[in-house]
Amino acid sequence: MVSKLKMVLLFVAMPMSSLFAQDQPELHVGGALRFNYNLSSWKEGQQKRGGDFGYDLFRINVKASYKGVKLDAEYRNYSDGFGGGMLKQGWIGYDFTPENNLQIGLTQVPFGITQYNSHNWFFGLNYYIGLEDDHDMGVKYTHSDENWMYAVAFFKNAEELNFGSNSDVSNSRYSYDVGSLDGEYRNKEENTLNVKVARKFKGSNSDHMLGVSAQYGGIYNLDTEEIGNNYALAAHYEVNVGGWNAKAQVSNYKYNTKNPDGQSNDVVAMTAYGAPYLVASEATTYTLGVAYTLPVKWGPISSLQFYDDFGYMDKRIKDFYDTYMNVTGVLVSAGNVYTYIDLAQGKNHPWIGPVWTDALAAGTADAKWETRFNINIGYYF
């Protein structure tokens, strides 16, 4: 009788102790240290030196959870020339169920293929116009099950650091947002609604996700104190088959700004990494990326991911010249060290060419394809 009673008590206690163990606070601190080498075709001095090798970033990641409430934050410190310190993301969330989550704070905008619509270190063309891996201040609800993924979000504004009545958007930010340039085109994003819906399909050895995204919000001009608007739409598809991955997306956006007289509404200033530039106020972008992951056993090297990411920006403004971007490369994984070796090529692209301010806006009629060879080495912990 005593032995039977012990067995019953043990049976009852096991699930209770398991539940209690899950109820303990969890904390994980990680980060990365990265260095970067680049050799650019349009930089004569760099060509003579054989390229430059230097510091990229040091970052800290913190994740915590307790009773379904989560914290996720990432702080990055770049060199002063690239904006210095900045919060990439930082949100507090709650899991209603394993499929349903709510996040509030600086969280990723649910637009297009997420987390990244690319495979390489440079990201894709959409990143440079604020339509890939963008993070803004607001609240987001996400549902994801075996068949469907959908998200609804409201963003009050982009990252706000100054809180002034007439203060410009800070240039020190990770993702591209509407901002200002040399005291002109002084706009801010406000009250933006995002909706994303994607259907998941499974094959015998493949996974597919087909979706659409929509975005609509206000654009407040600090000089005229008038509110314009903007929208963005996208259709996107991602597939995994064996070691292959492919991402395809078509996006269209338009900014209707209320700039002062003398400042064109055909362009909008966007900013990140400490340096703003101009972007065409209306365009359609086409992106396609393909990658293949090859497992290997070469000492510490466990895999090689070969990829090519292409982007084309069809500017809808008369006499504006289109932008192209293509990155071919390989990601080498060796323990906690990840190395991106990229050959990036661009035409009318600010990060891959000699023209910065107007490359994504009016562009240059006689722009040439420029090349940047880049190696990024990072230890992630």
Run of H or E including 197: strand 187-202
**pLDDT band for position 15 (cuts 50, 70, 90):** very low
Q: What is the pLDDT of residue 73?
A: 98
| 360 DSSP 8-state letter | B
Does the pLDDT value for residue 130 go beyond 50? yes
Residue 258 lies in a domain: yes
Residue 10 lies in a domain: no
Residue 2 lies in a domain: no
Residue 35 lies in a domain: yes
pLDDT tens-place string over residues 77-108: 999 889 999 999 999 999 999 999 999 999 99
Residue 99 lies in a domain: yes
Residue 6 lies in a domain: no
Please report, for the domain that includes residue 309, its CATH number.
2.40.160.10
pLDDT tens-place string over residues 231-242: 999 999 999 999
Strand partners, 145: none
Q: For residue 156, which of 188, 192, 186 has the smallest C-alpha distance?
A: 192
CB atoms within 10 A of CB 58: 14
Q: What is the pLDDT of residue 1?
A: 43
20 vs 39: which has the higher pLDDT: 39
pLDDT tens-place string over residues 242-277: 999 999 999 999 999 999 999 999 999 999 999 999
Structure tokens at 186: 């002084």
**Average pLDDT for the chain:** 94
Q: What is the pLDDT of residue 23?
A: 75
Residue 339 lies in a domain: yes
Q: What is the pLDDT of residue 101?
A: 97
pLDDT tens-place string over residues 180-218: 999 999 999 999 999 999 999 999 999 999 999 999 999
Q: What is the pLDDT of residue 5?
A: 35
97 exposure class (CB count in 10 Å sphere: 0-12, 13-18, 19+): exposed
pTM value is 0.92
Q: What is the pLDDT of residue 285?
A: 98
Q: What is the pLDDT of residue 4?
A: 41
pLDDT tens-place string over residues 62-77: 999 999 999 999 999 9
Residue 14 lies in a domain: no
Q: How many CA atoms lie within 13 A of 232 on its CB side?
A: 26
Out of 9-13, 159-163, 291-295, 309-313, least confident range: 9-13
Q: What is the mean pLDDT of residues 313-330?
A: 98
Q: What is the pLDDT of residue 12?
A: 35
Q: What is the residue range of 317's domain?
A: 25-380
Contact 279, 264 (CB under 8 A): no
Percent of the chain scoring above 70 in pLDDT: 94
pLDDT tens-place string over residues 141-155: 999 999 999 999 999
| 169 DSSP 8-state letter | P
Does the pLDDT value for residue 10 go beyond 90? no
The tally of domains found in the chain comes to: 1
Does the pLDDT value for residue 115 go beyond 90? yes
Does the pLDDT value for residue 21 go beyond 90? no
297 vs 14: which has the higher pLDDT: 297
Measured CA to CA, the distance from residue 34 to residue 167 in angstroms comes to 33
Run of H or E including 330: strand 323-334
